[in-house]
Amino acid sequence: MKKRIIIRFKRKTIDKPIVYRLARDYDLIFNILRANVFPRADSMMVLEIEGETENFNKGIDYLKGLNLDIEPIEQDINRDESKCVHCGVCTSVCAPEAIYINRENMKVEIDYEKCVACELCVKVCPVKAMSVSFE
């Protein structure tokens, strides 16, 4: 099983060694895709977690037991086709190359498997066609 999740920390939960425990206690492989961690403020981390289904579920239960907000990431990037002019500005800031220009039709396309929800494309889109949802 492999999924991407968002973990939202509250000020009092920031000092827990959560990724260490996920790896050691639940035999999960993790990749930190994005993190904004602040010692005296609410913080967040986007993780890709992989492992056996039973271990994955136990790891998620462990996180919930720490009173962390856990949100699965289904489809990160949304593009309003009626606004998009396929200028390609979003492709220039997409580090994992999830957003790219299809050279056959010169249209901007999104590979949702590669997206890490960094939101840079949303910030640079000149026509505000890009948005992020964590549903």
Nearest to 64 by CA among 18, 28, 26: 18
Percent of the chain at pLDDT > 90 equals 45
Q: Are 46 and 63 in contact (CB under 8 A)?
A: no
Range of the domain at 44: 2-72
Residues 46 and 85 in one domain: no
Residue with more model confidence, 32 or 37 = 32
pLDDT tens track for 60-86: 999 988 888 888 876 567 889 999 999
User: How many independent structural domains does the chain possess?
Assistant: 2
Residues 67 and 87 in one domain: no
